[in-house]
Structure 1
Amino acid sequence: MTRSLHWWTRDSAGPTLILPDGCLDVIVRPDGEAVVAGPDAVARESAGAGRHVGVRFSHGLGPLVLGVPADELTGRVVPLADVVGRDAAAGLEAGSAPLLAEWVRGRLATVHDDDPWAPAAFAAAAVGTPVATIADRTGLSARTLQRRCRVRFGYGPQHLARVLRLQRALALRRAGSPWAAVAADAGYVDQPHLARECRALTGRAPTLL
């Protein structure tokens, strides 16, 4: 389960472009307010300057921790208390990194998930496995996979695959690969296909990311 958690801190002077990644975050803002940032279908700009401290839940873990379907939070940023209830969020009223860590540990202690399909599906999509193959491997029909993906990731398997392919492409580019090689290695038809998908998901050309 630890691979499904990523702790992060961001110091920003203003709005920051947040790229979709199929994950859900609990964030403590500079003013101490704790919020939930649901899975983003497309890129969005974060609000406000200052230090943000957060934990990112991937592989479908977030909805289990928060007790709410991911698709109820897709594209939304809402107060944590509105999601888990004021009593459950009370420990983070004056949020900080240590308090957030303590809160997460407490929530994880209540999580029980004996069905490995979600982390397996996420991991497979992250390396470019076709959606039909993911369905076969998990033993789910296309309709059931669609429904379950919306609950755990915020959108269906096709969109999850697009989002994770873009993340894979940007990681290759950051590692130094030229754009033509990035497009081929990440699974795009060609470089123009990569450019179209990048604009569709982020509103920007690949070179601006």
Structure 2
Amino acid sequence: MVHRSEILHDTHFGRHYLRHEPTGELTPYVSHVWKLTGYDLIPQGVAEHYLPRLEADLVFAFANRCLYRSAGRDLLAFSGPHVLPPQAKALACLHPASRAVLGVSFRPGGQTALLGPSAEIQALPRLAALETELSHLSDFHSQAHRIESWLGERMRQTTVQPQLLTQALSCFNQGDSVAEAADAVGLSPRSLQRHCQQWLGLSPRTCRRVLRLRATLTRLWREPGYGLHDSGYHDYAHFFREFRSLTGLSPSAYLSQFEPAVPSGA
């Protein structure tokens, strides 16, 4: 089994994750198109661990039966096209190794603009024909450009853009409070609450907590000596409570998921 997490990505999964970044008009909506590949080297499949996040993913599962579990929730199984909305809790996924999995990682709000809002993992049978077309393309480059073309068609049909959301999230990343972010984007705190719920299904306070946790974990992985107080945590106990609240796990329990080594030659 090979594990992939957003924080441990380069160390544990670099060779099995292909990505293509769109340019131009899609940039405000889409981060990248991705593909999990190399299944001949990892016959048991791929375990992914999504931290709480504000991004969404569109997944083309092909012949796979993708299994998802979140803390305190029943196991969910999805085949075919489906969407993973923004998550306020950690989400674990197993891709059985029958065929590579293809997907799109949206920027915050991009999924709502191009596919419509979704509060739960949701099957998208209307995209079955596109998935079939993608399955007949021989390489990732061709698949990525077909997806990019399809997303461009969707973008030209929408009149909404997540500009205010992007600005508010930028304020949160700089450490602003909800009230300060609302003032910066010209909204009242209550209007910002409605705006975040509309685009992400999450409150501004939750968005701020998720962004802080993700930024802190990324920094700690790169710089083990990084001080938690620099991210606005009062002490380790504060960080521990926040981590458990958002992921459903302690930091040590989260890291223990990645103990199995990458198979020899992978």
User: TM-score band, normalised by the shorter chain?
Assistant: 0.7 to 0.9
Residue 105 of structure 1 deviates from its aligned partner by 2.3
Match of 2:108 among 43, 48, 59: 59
Match of 1:6 among 21, 26, 31: 31
5 Å-filtered alignment, 1:88-127, equals 90-96=129-135, 97-98=143-144, 99-113=146-160, 116-127=163-174
User: Deviations for 1:118-156, whole angstroms, at most 9, x for unmatched residues?
Assistant: 111122223322111111011111211111101111211
**Matching residue of 1:169:** 216
Unaligned regions of 5+ residues in structure 2, if any? Answer: 1-25, 65-79, 136-142, 256-266
Match of 2:230 among 185, 193, 196: 185
Structure 1 residues 78 and 47: alpha-carbon distance in aligned structure 2, compared to 1, 3 A threshold: farther
**Matching residue of 1:17:** 49
User: Which deviates further from its counterpart, 13-22 or 136-145?
Assistant: 13-22
Match of 1:27 among 52, 59, 70: 59
Secondary structure of the 1:16 match is strand
**In 2, Cα distance between equivalents of 1:125 and 1:106:** 32
Higher share of residues assigned helix: 1
Question: Any conservation in 2 of the 1:26–1:80 contact (CA below 8 Å)?
Answer: no
State the structure with more CA Rg: 2
Residue 2 of structure 1 deviates from its aligned partner by 1.2
Unaligned regions of 5+ residues in structure 1, if any? Answer: none
**In 1, Cα distance between equivalents of 2:173 and 2:150:** 28
Q: Give aligned-pair identity as a percent.
A: 29
What is the RMSD computed on CA atoms of the aligned residues? Answer: 2.4
5 Å-filtered alignment, 1:80-91, equals 80-81=124-125, 86=126, 90-91=129-130
**In 2, Cα distance between equivalents of 1:114 and 1:40:** 21
